[in-house]
Amino acid sequence: MLLIDCPWCGPRDDEEFHYGGEAHVLRPRDAGALSDEAFADYLFMQQNPKGPHLERWSHSHGCRRWFNMLRNTATNEILEIYPMGEKPKTEAGQAAYAENWRRESPAEKNALSGGEA
Protein backbone atom coordinates (compact mmCIF):
# COMPACT_ATOMS: atom_id res chain seq x y z
CA MET A 1 0.00 0.00 0.00
CA LEU A 2 1.33 3.39 -0.95
CA LEU A 3 0.85 6.85 0.54
CA ILE A 4 0.94 9.05 -2.53
CA ASP A 5 1.49 12.78 -2.21
CA CYS A 6 -0.88 14.20 -4.84
CA PRO A 7 0.59 17.53 -6.03
CA TRP A 8 -2.82 19.17 -5.59
CA CYS A 9 -4.53 17.28 -2.75
CA GLY A 10 -1.66 16.17 -0.51
CA PRO A 11 -0.90 12.69 0.85
CA ARG A 12 -3.63 10.13 0.13
CA ASP A 13 -4.05 6.34 0.17
CA ASP A 14 -3.23 4.59 -3.12
CA GLU A 15 -6.84 3.32 -3.32
CA GLU A 16 -7.83 6.81 -4.51
CA PHE A 17 -5.44 6.61 -7.45
CA HIS A 18 -5.32 4.89 -10.80
CA TYR A 19 -2.05 3.52 -12.12
CA GLY A 20 -1.33 4.57 -15.69
CA GLY A 21 1.73 2.46 -16.52
CA GLU A 22 5.08 3.56 -17.87
CA ALA A 23 5.59 7.32 -18.29
CA HIS A 24 7.15 9.11 -21.26
CA VAL A 25 5.93 6.64 -23.92
CA LEU A 26 5.43 8.73 -27.04
CA ARG A 27 2.89 7.63 -29.64
CA PRO A 28 4.45 7.37 -33.10
CA ARG A 29 3.23 10.10 -35.47
CA ASP A 30 3.41 7.84 -38.52
CA ALA A 31 2.90 4.31 -37.19
CA GLY A 32 2.64 2.91 -40.73
CA ALA A 33 6.29 3.77 -41.31
CA LEU A 34 7.43 1.51 -38.46
CA SER A 35 8.33 -2.16 -38.88
CA ASP A 36 6.13 -4.70 -37.08
CA GLU A 37 8.99 -5.33 -34.63
CA ALA A 38 9.41 -1.63 -33.85
CA PHE A 39 5.67 -1.19 -33.36
CA ALA A 40 5.49 -4.29 -31.10
CA ASP A 41 8.34 -2.82 -29.05
CA TYR A 42 6.40 0.43 -28.69
CA LEU A 43 3.14 -1.31 -27.82
CA PHE A 44 4.07 -4.36 -25.73
CA MET A 45 7.56 -3.98 -24.28
CA GLN A 46 6.86 -2.07 -21.09
CA GLN A 47 9.65 -1.13 -18.72
CA ASN A 48 9.67 -3.65 -15.88
CA PRO A 49 12.75 -2.81 -13.77
CA LYS A 50 13.46 -4.01 -10.25
CA GLY A 51 14.36 -0.55 -9.01
CA PRO A 52 13.49 3.04 -10.01
CA HIS A 53 10.53 3.16 -12.41
CA LEU A 54 9.02 6.23 -14.07
CA GLU A 55 5.25 5.87 -14.14
CA ARG A 56 2.00 7.80 -14.53
CA TRP A 57 -0.73 8.06 -11.91
CA SER A 58 -4.08 9.76 -11.83
CA HIS A 59 -5.89 10.87 -8.67
CA SER A 60 -9.05 9.30 -10.10
CA HIS A 61 -11.12 9.46 -6.89
CA GLY A 62 -9.87 12.95 -5.98
CA CYS A 63 -8.91 15.86 -8.20
CA ARG A 64 -8.73 13.55 -11.26
CA ARG A 65 -5.45 15.07 -12.40
CA TRP A 66 -2.54 13.10 -13.84
CA PHE A 67 1.06 13.34 -12.69
CA ASN A 68 4.35 11.47 -13.06
CA MET A 69 6.05 9.55 -10.30
CA LEU A 70 9.41 7.85 -9.74
CA ARG A 71 8.99 4.76 -7.54
CA ASN A 72 11.40 2.01 -6.58
CA THR A 73 9.56 -1.22 -7.47
CA ALA A 74 11.76 -3.28 -5.12
CA THR A 75 10.90 -1.23 -2.01
CA ASN A 76 7.85 0.87 -3.05
CA GLU A 77 9.74 4.00 -1.98
CA ILE A 78 8.37 7.05 -3.81
CA LEU A 79 11.38 9.07 -4.94
CA GLU A 80 9.89 11.93 -6.93
CA ILE A 81 6.55 13.34 -8.10
CA TYR A 82 6.54 15.79 -11.00
CA PRO A 83 4.00 17.24 -13.44
CA MET A 84 2.89 15.69 -16.73
CA GLY A 85 4.86 16.97 -19.69
CA GLU A 86 8.02 17.48 -17.65
CA LYS A 87 11.10 15.34 -17.20
CA PRO A 88 12.28 14.01 -13.82
CA LYS A 89 14.62 16.28 -11.86
CA THR A 90 16.25 13.89 -9.40
CA GLU A 91 19.44 12.09 -10.36
CA ALA A 92 17.73 8.66 -10.08
CA GLY A 93 14.86 9.88 -12.24
CA GLN A 94 17.12 11.33 -14.90
CA ALA A 95 19.13 8.10 -14.98
CA ALA A 96 15.94 6.01 -15.33
CA TYR A 97 14.82 8.29 -18.16
CA ALA A 98 18.13 8.25 -20.01
CA GLU A 99 18.75 4.49 -19.63
CA ASN A 100 15.35 3.53 -21.08
CA TRP A 101 15.83 1.80 -24.46
CA ARG A 102 12.90 3.83 -25.84
CA ARG A 103 15.11 6.92 -26.10
CA GLU A 104 16.88 5.24 -29.05
CA SER A 105 13.86 3.36 -30.42
CA PRO A 106 12.46 3.89 -33.95
CA ALA A 107 9.01 4.56 -32.42
CA GLU A 108 10.26 7.45 -30.29
CA LYS A 109 12.33 8.89 -33.14
CA ASN A 110 9.22 8.63 -35.30
CA ALA A 111 7.17 10.39 -32.60
CA LEU A 112 9.68 13.21 -32.30
CA SER A 113 10.19 13.63 -36.05
CA GLY A 114 7.61 16.41 -36.10
CA GLY A 115 9.18 18.18 -33.12
CA GLU A 116 9.00 17.63 -29.35
CA ALA A 117 5.66 15.99 -28.50
Partner 1 sequence: MNAPVNSGGNSGMRGLRGGKQRYSILSLARNALSHHENWQRAWRSPEPKPAYDVVIVGAGGHGLATAYYLASRHGIRNIAVIDKGWLGGGNTGRNTTIIRSNYLWDESAAIYEHSMKLWEGLSQELNFNTMFSQRGVLTLAHSEHERREMTRRVEAIRLNGIDSDVLNPAQIKQIVPIIDTDPRLRYPVMGGFIQRRGGTARHDAVAWGYARAADDMGVDIIQNCAVTGFLIDNGVVKGVETEKGAIRAGKVACVVAGHAGVVADMAGFRLPITSRPLQALVSEPIKPILDVVIMSNAVHMYVSQSDKGEMVLGAGADSYNGYTQRGSLTVPEGMLAAAVELFPVFSRLQMLRSWGGIVDTCPDASPVISKTPVSNLYFNCGWGTGGFKATPGSGHVFADLIARDAPNKIAVPFTLDRFSGGYLIDEHGAAGVAH
Q: Least distance to partner 1 from the beta carbon of 37, Å?
A: 5
DSSP letters of 4-55?
Answer: EEETTTEEEEGGG-EEEEESS-PPPS-GGGS-HHHHHHHHH-----SSEEEE
Nearer to partner 1, 10 or 50 (CB): 50
CA dihedral sign, ordered 21, 22, 28, 31:
negative
Which residues within the stretch 66-105 sit at the binding site for partner 1 (CB under 8 A)? 71, 73-76, 101
The answer to whether 18 contacts partner 1 (rule: CB under 8 A) is yes
Nearer to partner 1, 21 or 83 (CB): 21
Spatial separation of the C-alpha atoms in residues 81 and 63, rounded to whole Å: 16
Q: Least distance to partner 1 from the beta carbon of 104, Å?
A: 13
Q: Which stretch binds partner 1 (CB under 8 A): 50-58, 79-87, 89-97, 109-117?
A: 50-58
SS3 103: helix
User: Which residues bind to partner 1, rule: CB under 8 A?
Assistant: 1-2, 14-15, 18-19, 36-37, 39-41, 43-46, 48-50, 53, 55, 71, 73-76, 101
